[in-house]
Chains A and B, each alone.
Chain A
């Protein structure tokens, strides 16, 4: 924050100037719009993750079915 070199009279007076603020209705409108964008972005980031999870589970099911079929073939071959 303020450094010691800013200690002349003009600098001190400038440091005491008040803050301005966005008008309340506009401030609320900005906040709401930001929330909407944040929700949309969060949802769009989660979609690929969800798709990847579904794909992984499908792959797992297919793999386990393949192993089952393979084990059945081995079993049948060993009986003969």
Chain B
């Protein structure tokens, strides 16, 4: 497997196989991040496409030591926030599509074993406001360091830690509730932050 630096160097020269390698490496990361952020498959696929096309368009300007996963998540997140701010009518009209069915759990047996906890976790994450949800997805689900999360979201590491702490408390509360109230969040899934209501929360805290 080629190193990331090597792939970036080849992509800058227009090497299509380097793009394919980076696409295979980061497609799932970017899409999962967006799916949990937006709660919508179609919108997430559009944003994945735009993020990777921007990678291609900026290929010649990429630094040799660019960390492509961080770069792509930064672009994807900014695209999403930008969409929220523009309050696109088409997206507002789209009904929420809660994340419940995991593609990795296709057999009924697997689903019976794991789906209960996973569904509760997904719903609990989706119930968080955007500014906490994005930190949780990046740091806890995708395993980025606090420094990387700060780079992606434009936050200082101590702000990332504060948000994580607040998010953990909210998640514990959500997960400790009986199942029915948690399930009721399904109908309130935050897809596209009900257009743009929560987008403003990204700017409203952390001083």
Chain A interfacial positions (CB closer than 8 Å to B): 1-3, 5-6, 8, 10-11, 13-15, 17-23, 26-27, 29-31, 33-35, 37-39, 41-42, 45
The prevalent SS among residues of A at the interface is: helix
Q: How many pairs of A and B residues are in contact by the CB < 8 Å rule?
A: 108
CB nearest neighbor in A for B148: A1
Q: Pick the contact of A10 from B28, B59, B104, B168 — CB < 8 Å?
A: B168
> If the complex has contacts A20-B32, A34-B52, A41-B57, are A27 and B27 also in contact, measured as CB distance less than 8 A?
yes
Among B41-99, those with CB < 8 Å from A are: 41, 44-45, 48-49, 52-53, 55-57, 59-60, 99
B200 within 8 A of A: no
Q: Give the secondary structure class of B's interface.
A: helix
- Binary per-residue interface labels of chain B (89-125) against chain A in the complex, 1 for a CB within 8 Å, 0 otherwise: 0000000000100111100000000000110011001
A17 CB → nearest B CB, Å: 5
Give the residues in chain A near B168, CB-CB below 8 Å. 8, 10-11
Residue pairs across A and B with Cβ atoms less than 8 A apart, 19 shown, are A13-B121, A14-B125, A14-B136, A14-B140, A14-B141, A15-B143, A17-B121, A20-B28, A21-B32, A22-B31, A23-B41, A26-B45, A30-B49, A37-B56, A38-B19, A38-B56, A39-B16, A42-B13, A42-B14
Contact: A41 with B14, CB < 8 Å?
A: yes
| Minimal beta-carbon separation of A40 from chain B (angstroms) | 10
Partner of B23, one of A2, A5, A34: A34
Q: Are B143 and A23 in contact (CB under 8 A)?
A: no
Using CB atoms and an 8 Å cutoff, list the residues of chain B in contact with chain A.
13-14, 16, 19-20, 23, 27-29, 31-32, 35-36, 41, 44-45, 48-49, 52-53, 55-57, 59-60, 99, 102-105, 117-118, 121-122, 125, 136, 139-141, 143-146, 161, 164, 168, 171-172, 175
On whether the beta carbons of A1 and B144 are closer than 8 Å, the reply is yes
- Which residues of chain A are near B175, meaning CB under 8 Å? 10
Among A3, A17, A33, the most chain B Cβ lie within 10 Å of the Cβ of A17
Chain A residue numbers with a CB within 8 Å of B41 are 23
For A33, what are the chain B residues with a Cβ–Cβ distance below 8 Å? 49, 53
B141–A17 touching, CB < 8 Å: yes
Q: Which among A1, A17, A39 is the interface contact of B122 at CB below 8 angstroms?
A: A17
Q: By the criterion CB–CB under 8 Å, are A31 and B45 in contact?
A: no
